[in-house]
Amino acid sequence: MTAYDGSILGPIAKALGWIMDKIYLFFSNVMGVESVALTIVVFTVFIYLCLLPLTYKQQQFSVLTRKMQPEINAVQAKYKGKKDQASMQAQQEETQMIYDKYGVSPMGSCVQMAIQMPILFALYRVFYNVPAYIGSVKSIFTDLVNGIMGVDGYAQKMDTIYNEANLRAVKVDFTTTDPVQMKGFIIDVVYKLSDSGWDSLKAAFSSLSDVIATTQSELLQVNYLFGLNISDTPWNQMKASFFGHEWLLLFVAALIPLLSLASQYLTILQMPTNGAGNDQMTQQMRTMNLMMPLMSFFITFTVPAGLGLYWLTGGFIRAGQQFLLNRHFDKIDLDDIIEKNKEKAQAKKEKRGVRREQLMQAATMNTRKSLSERASIATENEEILEKAAEYRNNAKPGSLAAKANLVREFNEGKKKD
């Protein structure tokens, strides 16, 4: 039950695991249903409901961006080929004025992605080792772990099972003398065992056959979806199913990436960016909409099936949200939104003008200060030279200054000759 201890993703994973544990307990205590898969589905709905305000903003950004795109294109055409600093600054200012006019930010489409990516990476950690984050699942292993630790030479036996199962991605140390750590390592290994691994466990701890069978049965009910291990990758389970001639399980394992791909394309088909338009931005969006689902399709094969379930559930939720938002934005008057943003745009424009004026005044003051300092230095230098000349003229006979004057007069007379 070793939790990920990263400084950024670690706390996020623990927070998400805490929420999932509460959802799991609700279904377990109220409805008598113990299922990690059901917990993931409900958890996904919860996450997307929390992100709905951002989704709305992002959709509004997309709609307004399409409306203002002709004006953006006009500014770009106006300054096409002009690389001088004044032209580039003017283009940037005029483009920003258009964004202000429509009340959107150039970074508006990135906010939701910036929030979702840490969640996605943290969920990878949660689904990879569910018992570390969902206490109710961890409790399934209590009797088995206590029984294993009561057998002589259990550490060596567990190490052998670990090596035979080829669980190198699971970091364990069966030489530890800390009983709490040892329990965690045993759970980490047992949780990842395949059917053949469970057979090896039964052979190594024959006296615990009943406890092993009970634990395996409970885990099949809790952590499996139609025979698919939530914490193992679809690709690993497809390979095992192929060599074991379990064709139905192979189909189920392949179904998660396929449904994930279908859910994303279902969302893309409803996106207005797939309509008419041949400008560069539209072409880039079409390319991205084609490539991103394909990339996620291949990635889904190599991440825990629970993360794939989260992904495909989220895809269908996004498709539903997209459908409802499209109907909503078809009914509203965008001109009213733009009109409301005019005052804000004017205030921003004035604020930028004040800032620009302050910068120019500061630059002017610095220039004046620099010139004044130079004049002061020149005056000081002149005074020093005058004092030096006066000192030379009043030099006492026989002094170094008097001798220097004789040398200077000799050199000047020689130049005149």
Show pLDDT as tens, one digit a residue, over the chain (417 residues). Answer: 567 777 788 899 899 999 999 999 999 888 888 899 999 999 999 998 988 888 888 787 777 777 788 888 888 888 888 888 888 888 888 888 888 777 777 665 566 667 778 888 888 888 888 888 888 888 899 999 999 999 999 999 999 999 998 887 788 899 999 999 999 999 989 988 888 889 999 999 999 999 999 999 998 888 888 888 888 889 988 988 888 888 998 999 999 999 988 888 888 887 765 444 455 655 666 677 777 788 888 889 988 888 889 888 988 998 898 888 888 888 877 777 677 766 666 666 666 555 555 555 555 555 555 555 556 665 666 666 666 666 666 666 666 656 556 656 655 565 555
Q: Other C-beta atoms within 10 Å of 324: how many?
A: 10
What's CA 103's distance to the chain center, in Å?
A: 25
What's the pLDDT at 207? 93
What's the pLDDT at 276? 44
- Distance, in Å, from the CA atom of 87 to the CA atom of 95, rounded to the nearest integer, reads 12
Contact between 165 and 193 (Cβ < 8 Å): yes
- Distance, in Å, from the CA atom of 119 to the CA atom of 106, rounded to the nearest integer, reads 23
What's the pLDDT at 365? 55
What's the pLDDT at 277? 47
- Distance, in Å, from the CA atom of 235 to the CA atom of 113, rounded to the nearest integer, reads 27
Residue ranges per structural domain of the chain: 9-126+244-335, 135-225, 336-416
What's the pLDDT at 157? 95
